[in-house]
Amino acid sequence: MATLKRITTILAFASLFAPVVVHAQRPVLNDAEVVRDSVQAAITRDRAEGLWAEVIASGDLKGSAVLDMVIDDKGRCESVLIRESDLPIKWKNAVKDQWFDRRFAFKLAKNHKQKITITLQFP
């Protein structure tokens, strides 16, 4: 009984100094439409948080772009191709670079890649 009490005391004391580690699992997505909607939601969230807000407000960033993105099994965007765009070259590169190598909050089935098409409108 005394040994159990010592172990409990040691564990309680150790837990005070142990770092809190939370391992949240990212969901595995299998459907192409769900992957596209998840990426579109992440892009919309970035823009709502102020991504390029000053440039859009000043009128320097106007137009649209159609992006082909390839998402790997870890949820990382491994390629971005601008299929159509009426943006200036500077902004085409900025849009492409913003989401290239981005890790999204989901993953795909092991050894699976998903090609999706995203359309962006800049007012």
Token pair 């981005």: residue: 102
CATH class as words, domain 27-122: alpha beta
Per-residue burial over 100-122, b if 16 or more Cβ lie within 10 Å, else e, is: eebebebbbeeeeebebeeebeb
Digit-by-digit pLDDT tens for the chain (123 residues) are: 566 666 666 555 545 444 444 446 788 888 889 999 999 999 999 988 888 888 888 888 899 999 999 999 999 999 999 999 999 999 999 999 998 999 999 999 999 999 999 999 988
Determine the pLDDT at residue 89.
93
Token pair 């159990």: residue: 4
Per-residue burial over 66-95, b if 16 or more Cβ lie within 10 Å, else e, is: ebebebbeebebeebeeeebebeeebbeeb
